[in-house]
Structure 1
Amino acid sequence: MLFAHDTECSLIAAAALVNTAGTGEGLPDVAALDDFYVAHAYTGRHEHTEAELASVRDLRPRLRRLWDADVHEVVTIVNGLLREHDALPQLITHDDEPYHFHAVPRNAPLAIRMAVEAAMAVADLIRSGELNRLRICAHPDCDNVVVDLSRNRSRRFCEAGCGNRAAVTAYRARKAAARG
């Protein structure tokens, strides 16, 4: 583990959330948000409403800017999210989890918790000089975001199968070159 467990989980969840806004709507309904909530082990308040879904969807473009901006703009975005939601980091333990940071109460709206957790995780990347671990997928037909948590900083492709597509394309190109 390169970063604290909660930092890694928050970065992965933020990337997954951003990627739900890709070519097709990845959060088409409340049931999809429920699945996302479970898949990324969120805890605390979850209203299961259209309003909550809309607020989570509205967060995506703001989080996406974390992948597209230079470090100074990322700092501005992170500080804005933390200030806007009155974040006050505190060490918490619950549900048999080790101590980790919560910066807003567990009963805060889900979109606020998602925003603050992402901001706190990106703040860790900035503090450790590792902001370059936030990347865009290297596949030419993909615009998804990637969090590279590998030790050797080698992750290039997103979770949508782009690495496999690139490998197949390269394989076919080698075979065609050998034949021709």
Structure 2
Amino acid sequence: MPFGHDMVHSLATVVDLINTSPSTGGEDTLTDLRQLGAFVERHHVSGVEVLGETDLTQIRTLREAFHKVFTAPDQATAVIRLNTLLSSTRITPRLTEHDGHPLHVHYFAPGASLHEHLAADLGVALAHLLVEGEWGRLRTCSAPDCGHVFVDESRNRSRVYCDSRTCGNRMHVAAYRARRRA
């Protein structure tokens, strides 16, 4: 996928946000302000100064909305879900350069809350993916005990596991052992 650094960054951020949820089969790793602050810092979310309980509640709701986009049964449903999410966001596109990154577009309005910031930037990244006809790249891990989501960036769109070193390796070892027993 020949996307710019901001698109790749936004897609990685939305995947990481969704995968903090227990609805992906793991533990909830976004339960307090410390964890939210770590998420913001890890993903270099700019313009965020003070986080409060409202931010935590809104971001937890937002991640579930994004999860519904990823797990939509078809592209038309994903479009409806993403449009619903985007309609609740003030979007103010502007060009910016910061933190050593080349010129790119931010979509959140100046002074936006963390919820509006992420809804706008991450939502627009997903919108561009859908516009490019790449809805099929939004995937859920094929490992039976994993529900993590990912964006398949492989050239031939063949990736099936969220991480080849964990889920992929575990499934390949299980298949190998099953063949050896047979």
Fold-level similarity (TM above 0.5): yes
Moved more, 67-76 or 2-11: 67-76
State the TM-score, normalized to the length of structure 1.
0.88
Is residue 181 of structure 2 the alignment partner of residue 176 of structure 1? Answer: yes
Q: Deviations over 1:42-99 (max 9, x none)?
A: 1111423222112111111111111122222222233333332121322222222111
Aligned to 1:17: 17
One of 115, 120, 125 as aligned partner of 1:121: 125
What percentage of residue pairs aligned between the two structures are identical? 39
Is residue 102 of structure 2 the alignment partner of residue 107 of structure 1? Answer: no
Is residue 143 of structure 2 the alignment partner of residue 139 of structure 1? Answer: yes
One of 81, 92, 96 as aligned partner of 1:92: 96
Equivalent-residue separation in structure 2 for 1:58 and 1:82 (angstroms): 14
Given that residues 15 and 145 in structure 1 are in contact (C-alpha distance below 8 angstroms), is that contact kept between their aligned partners in structure 2? Answer: yes
Is residue 53 of structure 2 the alignment partner of residue 50 of structure 1? Answer: yes
One of 37, 40, 43 as aligned partner of 1:37: 40
How many matched pairs? 177
Note the aligned Cα RMSD (angstroms): 1.9
Q: Deviations over 1:20-52 (max 9, x none)?
A: 112321112211112211222211114232221
Aligned to 2:70: 67
Evaluate the alpha carbon distance shift between residue 46 and residue 54 of structure 1 in structure 2; reply closer, same or farther with a 3 A threshold: farther
Unaligned runs of 5+ in 1: none
Moved more, 125-134 or 69-78: 69-78
Shift of 1:130: 0.7
State the TM-score, normalized to the length of structure 2.
0.87
Shift of 1:2: 2.3
Moved more, 36-45 or 77-86: 77-86
Equivalent-residue separation in structure 1 for 2:126 and 2:172 (angstroms): 30
The secondary structure found in structure 1 opposite 2:102 is: coil
Moved over 6 A (4+): none
Equivalent-residue separation in structure 2 for 1:175 and 1:87 (angstroms): 56
Aligned to 1:28: 31
Unaligned runs of 5+ in 2: none
The secondary structure found in structure 2 opposite 1:16 is: helix
Moved more, 80-89 or 119-128: 80-89
